[in-house]
Amino acid sequence: MAEGAILKVQLRRQLQTRRAALSVAERMAAADAVADHVAEHAQFKLPGYVAGYWATRAELPLHTLQLRLRGDQVWCLPVVQADGGLMFGPWRQGDPLVSNRYGIPEPDLAASSLIAPQDLSLVLLPLLGVDRSGHRLGMGGGYYDRAFAFRRDRRPPPFLVGIAYACQAVPALPSDAWDVALDALATEHGLTHFDQN
């Protein structure tokens, strides 16, 4: 295993432990603060499809932010495809859900009702770690990097915002050629933009 890959495995363990150590009260307070920061951002005020995620393993929950959507915005959740790709399904509170292969709830929709990644206007991405350059460390499956590979050489849309607790930020992360950098990061402390030119 390459040195960068080994470092990523070690960082994932450390950052999962760090995130899991947060109390429920700290997580809920952070969720409210992140919702405030994202809701004020110009990208959140545009019409279109807004992709979030179903929080698991102590990820920062997005329910507060979902409640702030306007009538011309549609909340979507990731739907894992058989080929390992990601599509996104529109979802409102009370709509049917099914568990995917990882036990994560996703919208119970026909393939024809799913939204392609390039048709989203804003994407709120879960992460384990993020650095000062906007490099994101996920769980290691590469789903988001594959889904948004077209953003490596293209400006938004969709606008990619990492969602994290401030304790998940690190000075630097090892990166690979296939990694897709974030446009911004939202934590309980505020919203940071990254210059991805």
Q: In order of start, what are the domains of the chain with their CATH numbers? A: 3-193 (3.40.50.10420)
Q: How far apart are CA 192 and CA 38, in angstroms?
A: 10
Residue 140 has pLDDT above 90, yes or no: no
C-alpha distances out from residue 32 to 36, 115, 197, Å: 6, 27, 31
Per-residue confidence (pLDDT) for residue 1, from 0 to 100: 53
Residue 197 has pLDDT above 90, yes or no: no
Q: What mean pLDDT is reported for the chain?
A: 92
Which has more confidence, 18 or 196?
A: 18
Query: Which sign does the torsion angle of CA 84, 180, 126, 95 carry?
Result: negative
Per-residue confidence (pLDDT) for residue 196, from 0 to 100: 58
Q: How far apart are CA 41 and CA 6, in angstroms?
A: 36
Per-residue confidence (pLDDT) for residue 157, from 0 to 100: 94
Beta carbons within 8 Å of 169's beta carbon, 6+ residues apart = 129, 130, 131, 132, 185, 187
Closest CA to 24 of 165, 184, 130: 165
Measured over all CA atoms, what is the biggest interatomic distance in the chain, rounded to whole angstroms? 48
Closest CA to 160 of 114, 192, 113, 115: 192
Q: How far apart are CA 83 and CA 143, in angstroms?
A: 11
**pLDDT band at residue 4 using 50, 70 and 90 as cut-offs:** low
Per-residue confidence (pLDDT) for residue 178, from 0 to 100: 85
Per-residue confidence (pLDDT) for residue 173, from 0 to 100: 85
pLDDT one-digit tens code per residue, 33-86: 999 999 999 999 999 999 999 999 899 999 999 999 999 999 999 999 999 899
What proportion of the chain, given as a percentage, has pLDDT over 90?
Answer: 77
Q: How far apart are CA 58 and CA 22, in angstroms?
A: 8
Query: Are the C-beta atoms of 105 and 32 separated by less than 8 Å?
Result: no
Lowest mean pLDDT among 6-10, 58-62, 135-139, 183-187: 6-10
pLDDT one-digit tens code per residue, 96-126: 999 999 899 999 999 999 999 999 999 999 9
Per-residue confidence (pLDDT) for residue 156, from 0 to 100: 92
Per-residue confidence (pLDDT) for residue 39, from 0 to 100: 93
Q: What is the pTM of this model?
A: 0.92
